[in-house]
Every structure is written in C-alpha cells, then in structure tokens.
C-alpha cells in the first residue's frame, strides 16, 4: 500500500512498509469532533482514560480497583491498544472481557487484530515515524501476527465494532477522546517529540479550533505529555492529554503506568500524580500512577515472551527500567516550556 498521509498531519508514515503505513480507513477529521457527546458520556463527574494497557492484566486489575473507589457519575474509557503482550488466549480473553465491560475505542492493535486479512499491509498499524528503527517495526509486526493466534472470531468481531474516537463532557470541559491524534487513529501529531515544535503546536491549535473541544485525551505514542495549546476561550489554553502507557513504565526508574483522570473534584486516592496536574475549564486533570507488582508483571511477561522473543527484545528494558524520560518533561505550557 502506498503511503497515505493527511495534508496536515506532521507525522506521516515513512514509506509503505508494513508498520510504517497509515491506511485510509484510519482517518477522520478534526471537525468530526464538533458534535454533542452521547448521552452516556455527558455531565460526567469522573472520567478515566486508559490508553496503552498493552495486555498487562496486573495494570488492568489496579485500574479497576482505582475506578471502583471513585464516586459520582463516572466513566472508564479504554482508548485503544489494550491488547498487545497478551498472546496467551486465557489472558487475552480476560483482558477483552474486562475492557469491553466499559467504554472502549479500538487502537491500531485492535483494528489490525479485527482485520480479516491477516496479510494487511498496515502490519501492526502503528504508522511508526522515522525516529523509530526498522528493527522495532519488524518486531512489532511479528508480535501482532502472534497476537492474532490468541483471538477467536467472536473476539475479533467485537473489536471491529468499536469506534475510533469519542466525545465526552466532564463538567464544562468538552473532550475529544482518540487513540492517536485529531486526524488519525494511528497519528503521531500528539507525540511529545512533535509537540516540542512551535510550528506544529500552531497546527494543533487549528485542529482544536475545528474540533471545538477543550482537550484531547490520547495515547499511542508511548510517552506521556500534557501540552497546553494556545487559543482557548477567555485566554485559557486547550490541552493535549497524552497518558503515555497504562501498562508500561513511563519514566526512568519508575515502574508505574499512567492513566488520565478528568473530574469535577480532586483526586483523593493515595496513588501518585507525577506532577502532571492542572485545572482546565473548572475541572481537575491529572496523570495518576497505576502501581502494580512490577516483579510479578516481569515474570508474567517473561513466561509468554522469553529472552530472544520479539517482545522481549523490543520492550524488556522499557518494562524493567522505564524510558529515558522524566516527569518534568511531561507537563508543558503553550511555549513548550516545563510547567512548575
């Protein structure tokens, strides 16, 4: 398949190789978000957005425990890539059952799993940009191929039926919920790397204008960033809320996953907030740590993906040590500078 890139997407796929390309059916428009939220996602008191669970059942268990403690009108949205390391059919089934008991969007992993054409040119569907090496891309395609063996036809059909994006209102905050960015399920326009560029932030401001939302909650790019975007009402910024990953570490030397919590009341749990807290449109927005037994998860991971396997080669260091990224880099003002 030839490379397909939206004219205003700054992170088009590189070439046409599987895992690099971005299929047309992944696309939507920022203006699509300029609609009312569905009734069940309006007037929410507490919203959890859980992106990048990556088939980690221990993180899933913790998320459900945390959500259970919340009070008021609450919703839990899994915004894609909830499957990945769960190549064991029993673990896959458990993840799918618990996730689909709540609101869910499909990420590129679920979209490619649901595709009846196992040789689809999208590979893993990640639309990896050029700073991601070929070895990572090739291993991701093989991980996806193995993951396909864990899913039965009914499970694939359920994934296929999931939407690519959603709208929600928390208090007065109008939120777009996506897996990638405002133009594509696998877009990299909300990646912390791209958001360092002032010109790109101007382009993102245009997406917000057309979408008529105050914030986008996203994931997919594997590193967290809460980025202020110029141009909101009454001088208030809009926000990109990228939680990084719930099922993998997000910062060097720290094993916690992250979820995005948007609520009309402050977070009262004991879990850490990683300095990524802000007030937007009268609501509280935080990246909350998802703390699970890291040793148990490493053992579980190693059982299914032993040394030398594709997932072990690509992800073991990240899971064991965390990425080369620190919390101070993850909360940024409209000029891209760290917020105190």
Chain positions contacting Fe ion, by CB under 5 A: 81, 107-108, 220
CB of 186 to Fe ion, least distance (A): 6
CB of 19 to Fe ion, least distance (A): 11
Torsions phi, psi for 91 (to 5 deg): -65, -40
CB of 152 to Fe ion, least distance (A): 22
| Cβ-based nearer residue to Fe ion, 107 or 176 | 107
Estimate the share of the chain in helix, then strand, then coil, as percent rounded to the nearest 5. Answer: 35, 20, 45
Torsions phi, psi for 110 (to 5 deg): -65, -35
CB of 293 to Fe ion, least distance (A): 25
| Cβ-based nearer residue to Fe ion, 108 or 246 | 108
| Cβ-based nearer residue to Fe ion, 44 or 164 | 164
Beta-strand runs (E) in the chain = 46-50, 74-79, 103-105, 165-170, 173-178, 215-218, 224-229, 238-243, 257-263, 277-280, 283-290, 331-332
CB of 63 to Fe ion, least distance (A): 18
* CA-derived radius of gyration, the chain: 18
Decide: 95 and 82 in contact? Cβ < 8 Å.
yes
Please give the Cα distance from 238 to 267 (Å, whole number): 21
CB of 129 to Fe ion, least distance (A): 12
| Cβ-based nearer residue to Fe ion, 108 or 227 | 108
Decide: 86 and 80 in contact? Cβ < 8 Å.
no
Decide: 238 and 208 in contact? Cβ < 8 Å.
yes
| Cβ-based nearer residue to Fe ion, 121 or 271 | 121
CB of 265 to Fe ion, least distance (A): 31
Residues paired with residue 258 on neighbouring β-strands, in sequence order: 289
| Cβ-based nearer residue to Fe ion, 111 or 309 | 111
| Residue at shortest CB range from Fe ion | 220
| Cβ-based nearer residue to Fe ion, 81 or 181 | 81
- Tokens matching residue 175: 């939120």
């Amino acid at each position: 398949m030839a490379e397909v890139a939206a004219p205003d997407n700054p992170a088009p796929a590189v070439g046409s190789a599987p895992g690099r390309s971005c299929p047309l059916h992944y696309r939507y428009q920022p203006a699509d978000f300029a609609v009312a939220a569905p009734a069940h996602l309006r007037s929410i008191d507490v919203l959890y957005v859980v992106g990048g669970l990556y088939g980690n059942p221990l993180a899933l268990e913790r998320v459900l425990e945390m959500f259970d403690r919340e009070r008021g009108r609450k919703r839990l949205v899994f915004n894609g890539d909830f499957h990945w390391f769960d190549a064991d059919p029993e673990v896959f089934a458990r993840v799918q059952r618990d996730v689909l008991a709540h609101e869910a969007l499909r990420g590129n992993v679920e979209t490619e799993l649901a595709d009846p054409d196992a040789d689809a040119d999208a590979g893993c569907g990640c639309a990896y940009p050029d700073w991601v090496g070929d070895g990572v891309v090739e291993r991701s395609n093989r991980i996806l191929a193995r993951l396909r063996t864990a899913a039965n036809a009914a499970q694939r059909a359920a994934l296929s039926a999931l939407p690519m994006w959603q709208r929600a209102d928390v208090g007065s905050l109008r939120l777009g919920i996506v897996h990638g960015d405002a133009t594509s399920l696998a877009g990299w326009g909300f990646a912390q790397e791209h958001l360092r560029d002032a010109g790109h932030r101007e382009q993102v401001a245009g997406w917000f204008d057309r979408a008529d939302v105050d914030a986008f909650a996203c994931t997919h790019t594997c590193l967290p960033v809460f980025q202020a975007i110029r141009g909101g009402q009454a001088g208030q910024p809009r926000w990109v809320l990228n939680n990084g990953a719930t099922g993998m570490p997000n910062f060097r030397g720290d094993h916690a996953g992250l979820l995005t919590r948007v609520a009309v009341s402050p977070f009262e749990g004991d879990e850490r907030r990683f300095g990524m807290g802000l007030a937007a449109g009268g609501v509280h927005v935080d990246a909350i740590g998802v703390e699970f037994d890291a040793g148990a998860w490493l053992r579980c991971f190693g059982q299914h993906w032993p040394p030398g396997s594709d997932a072990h080669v690509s992800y073991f260091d990240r899971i064991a040590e965390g990425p080369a990224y620190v919390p101070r880099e993850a909360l940024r003002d409209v000029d891209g500078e760290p917020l105190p």
